[in-house]
């Protein structure tokens, strides 16, 4: 069975999980995160036998794939060397795929994903409908890590969503 690896970039510890299994990232063991703003079940990683891996945010707390907000309770495909931060600018984890699935790529390749789909805006929406379009349970904030900001964050008003994957395609 092939092993996927998750590296806690804060502590440099690595954790393996098998294809056809899941791994929950969150507060407590085995990651040792004590920050109470992180849920015990923050993000679930699911590895498939065909070499694909999906991330799903299980908590209301914002978690990022790269600099994009993971949608709540929707699976998003991740790629080799992608970074998931449990909170913006905090608790980064790198996802490493088994060498078997890297088809001719090298160990030090750049992340392949952040496959981002632009938001769909219907022709009937007007600028006055904007408040309603932001009332869903998904946020449309693009987080950017900046060293000059006290929290290391800045927020863009531009919409940015990660593409969603339905259970039917998994």
pLDDT, one tens digit per residue, over 11-36 is 999 999 998 999 999 999 999 999 99
pLDDT, one tens digit per residue, over 81-139 is 999 999 999 999 999 998 766 665 444 444 444 444 444 444 444 444 433 333 334 44
Mean pLDDT of 33-57: 95
Domains and CATH numbers, the chain: 3-169 (2.60.200.20)
Cβ atoms 38, 52 nearer than 8 A: no
Sign of CA dihedral 106, 100, 43, 167: positive
DSSP letter assigned to residue 70: P
Find, among 104, 120, 47, the residue nearest to 79 by Cα.
47
Cβ atoms 47, 19 nearer than 8 A: yes
């Amino acid at each position: 069975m092939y092993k996927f690896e998750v590296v806690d970039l804060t502590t440099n510890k690595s954790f393996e999980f098998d294809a056809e299994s899941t791994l929950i990232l969150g507060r407590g063991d085995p990651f040792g995160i004590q920050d109470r703003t992180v849920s015990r079940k923050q993000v679930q990683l699911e590895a498939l036998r065909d070499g694909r891996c999906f991330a799903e945010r299980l908590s209301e707390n914002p978690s990022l794939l790269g600099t994009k907000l993971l949608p709540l309770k929707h699976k998003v495909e991740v790629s080799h060397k992608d970074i998931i931060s449990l909170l913006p600018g905090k608790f980064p984890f790198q996802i490493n795929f088994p060498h078997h699935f890297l088809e001719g790529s090298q160990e030090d390749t750049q992340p392949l994903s952040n496959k981002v789909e632009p938001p769909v805006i219907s022709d009937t929406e007007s600028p006055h409908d904007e408040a309603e379009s932001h009332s869903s349970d998904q946020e449309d904030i693009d987080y950017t890590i900046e060293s000059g900001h006290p929290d290391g964050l800045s927020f863009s008003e531009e919409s940015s969503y990660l593409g969603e994957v339905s259970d039917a395609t998994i």
